Amino acid sequence: RKEVEQDPGPFNVPEGATVAFNCTYSNSASQSFFWYRQDCRKEPKLLMSVYSSGNEDGRFTAQLNRASQYISLLIRDSKLSDSATYLCVVTNNAGNMLTFGGGTRLMVKP
Amino acid sequence: DTAVSQTPKYLVTQMGNDKSIKCEQNLGHDTMYWYKQDSKKFLKIMFSYNNKELIINETVPNRFSPKSPDKAHLNLHINSLELGDSAVYFCASSHGTSGGFTDTQYFGPGTRLTVL
């Protein structure tokens, strides 16, 4: 089992749609969780951290379920500019090792 | 102002050659990293340096040698390049004073290495 698993997609959605991605991780002692965004042929950039209580940033909502070992990202009212690959990122229990998932590709169409 | 810069952006070379990639950050961060992103888009940590000291070396062949002349620079030298080294190499930095990964990572634009 991979340490961090994501559905590679692509998820093709129309503008305005709501889309959700899940990510599962294998290390139950993982400490910190993040979503990064990577545009085609660009570098990854932090989208948001994921907190145990769940957190929201505008149209983006992240949730963490430690019991089931997954994190999710919900995007409401999708925009064309949301088209990108979304990377799930998990640290180990000591917080000194970062593992990236393979990414989920989102394509928002007019 | 570029926060994390890498040179060159593209590197095409023959098998067996030795090449270097340079990285500089002007964010005042204490920790710098090298990542490799392969053709399947998996991003994997290679090295982590904190204040010029090696913190993490993740089962990377010893043909890869990072060098940190100061905490704002982390260069990557690769000896005897192989076909499998073809990938995009990203430099990154974070504030982390202890080499921890919980701080936001700021990535450079990447260096696309092609070994022929």
Q: Taking residues B59-82, what's their average pLDDT?
A: 93
Instruction: Output the furthest CA–CA distance in chain A (Å, rounded).
Output: 44
Task: Choose the mutation target among A31, A43, A96 for the interface with B, i.e. most B CBs under 10 Å.
Answer: A43
Q: Which of B66, B114, B55, B59 is nearest to B91 (CA)?
A: B66
pLDDT band at B77 (very low <50, low <70, confident <90, very high): very high
Q: Are A27 and A93 in contact (CB under 8 A)?
A: yes
In angstroms, rounded to a whole number, what is the distance separating the alpha carbons of residues B89 and B37? 6
Name the more confident of B98 and B56.
Answer: B56
**Predicted local confidence at residue A92, as pLDDT:** 78
Tens-place pLDDT, residues A17-40: 999 999 999 988 888 899 999 999
Q: Are A98 and B102 in contact (CB under 8 A)?
A: no
Pairwise CB contact (< 8 Å): A43 & B101: no
Pairwise CB contact (< 8 Å): B105 & A98: yes
**Predicted local confidence at residue A72, as pLDDT:** 96
**Predicted local confidence at residue B89, as pLDDT:** 97
Q: Which chain A residues are within 8 Å of B110, Cβ to Cβ?
A: 42-43
pLDDT > 70 in chain B, percent? 93
Pairwise CB contact (< 8 Å): A44 & B104: no
Q: Which of A102, A94, A14, A28 is nearest to B101 (CA)?
A: A94
- Residue from the list A43, A91, A98 with its beta carbon closest to the beta carbon of B109: A43
**Predicted local confidence at residue B42, as pLDDT:** 86
Q: Which of B41, B33, B36 is nearest to B82 (CA)?
A: B36
- Which residue of chain A comes nearest to B50, CA vs CA? A96
The pLDDT of residue B76 is above 80: yes
Q: Are B10 and B111 in contact (CB under 8 A)?
A: yes
Can you spell out the DSSP letters for A44-66?
EEEEEEE-TT-EEETTEEEEEET
The pLDDT of residue B98 is above 70: no
Q: Are B64 and B44 in contact (CB under 8 A)?
A: no
- Residue from the list A42, A44, A97 with its beta carbon closest to the beta carbon of B101: A97
Q: In chain A, which stretches have pLDDT less than 70?
A: 1, 96
Q: A63-67, B37-41, B71-75, B77-81: which range is least confident on average?
A: B37-41
Q: Which chain B residues are within 8 Å of A32, Cβ to Cβ?
A: 101-102
In angstroms, rounded to a whole number, what is the distance separating the alpha carbons of residues B8 and A108? 32
Chain B interface includes A100 (CB < 8 A) = yes
Interface residues of B toward A, Cβ cutoff 8 Å, are 40-45, 48, 55-56, 90, 99-102, 104-105, 107-110
**Predicted local confidence at residue A31, as pLDDT:** 83
**Predicted local confidence at residue B97, as pLDDT:** 56
Q: What's the gap in Å between the CA of A31 and the closest CA on chain B?
A: 9
